[in-house]
């Protein structure tokens, strides 16, 4: 039986908008983290281009996470399956909110860090965004540490989320 993909979520599954936002963000987050984790190994002549892509992707992710959270408020996700234990439901909600928090904090700390270091954030190489904070070398160093720590926490949370999804798909044979 083939299900027609509906735009909105229903009581049984996520709709097209939720799925498109999910997988688009997953791809962008993967690329963003890959650039971030390898930036020190990128050849010097490509470093500025890579940082420009990294910053632009961060802004896109920031806009998408706000849109996604708004969509979630407008269009509630399907309820958890009845067979899920209470702790699994609590863990799923906690991981989703952690993901939202990290996906808001990561671009904001990156943007603030760049501003504190006195560098511009240029979106798609075209639009220079205003600085979030005044130039402050010490603040820039601190924000760089926070940004890196958040990247590690985001990576761990994404892995946890993916492992839980794979467990539900392959072991429990269910998926929303």
Q: How far apart are CA 118 and CA 26, in angstroms?
A: 30
The pLDDT score that the predictor gives to residue 81 is 84
Contact 35, 110 (CB under 8 A): no
Contact 106, 61 (CB under 8 A): yes
DSSP H helices in the chain: 16-38, 44-74, 86-116, 137-166
Any bridge partners for residue 129, and if so which?
121
Residue 68 — φ and ψ, nearest 5°?
-65, -40
The pLDDT score that the predictor gives to residue 172 is 75
Q: For strands 127-129 and 121-123, give the pairing.
A: antiparallel
The pLDDT score that the predictor gives to residue 41 is 94
The pLDDT score that the predictor gives to residue 170 is 85
Nearest to 158 by CA among 90, 87, 106: 106
Any bridge partners for residue 135, and if so which?
none
Output the tens digit of pLDDT for each of the chain's 176 residues.
Answer: 445 669 999 988 999 999 999 999 999 999 999 999 999 999 999 999 999 999 999 999 999 999 999 999 999 999 988 888 999 999 999 999 999 999 999 999 999 999 999 999 999 999 999 999 999 999 999 999 999 999 999 999 999 999 999 988 888 776 65
Nearest to 25 by CA among 74, 70, 58: 58
Q: How far apart are CA 54 and CA 56, in angstroms?
A: 6
């Amino acid at each position: 039986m083939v299900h027609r993909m509906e735009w909105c979520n229903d009581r049984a599954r996520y709709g097209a908008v939720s799925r498109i936002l999910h997988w688009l963000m997953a791809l962008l987050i993967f690329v963003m983290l890959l650039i971030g984790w390898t930036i020190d190994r990128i050849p010097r002549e490509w470093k500025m281009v890579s940082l420009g892509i990294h910053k632009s992707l961060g802004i896109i992710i920031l806009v998408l996470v706000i849109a996604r959270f708004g969509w979630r408020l407008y269009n509630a996700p399907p309820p958890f399956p009845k067979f899920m234990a209470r702790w699994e439901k609590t863990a799923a909600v906690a991981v989703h909110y952690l993901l939202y928090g990290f996906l808001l904090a990561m671009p904001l700390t990156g943007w603030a860090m760049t501003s504190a270091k006195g560098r511009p954030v240029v979106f798609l190489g075209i639009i220079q965004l205003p600085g979030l904070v005044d130039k402050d070398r010490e603040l820039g160093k601190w924000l760089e540490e926070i940004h890196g720590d958040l990247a590690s926490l985001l990576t761990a949370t994404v892995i946890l989320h993916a492992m839980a999804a794979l467990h539900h798909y392959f072991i429990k044979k269910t998926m929303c």
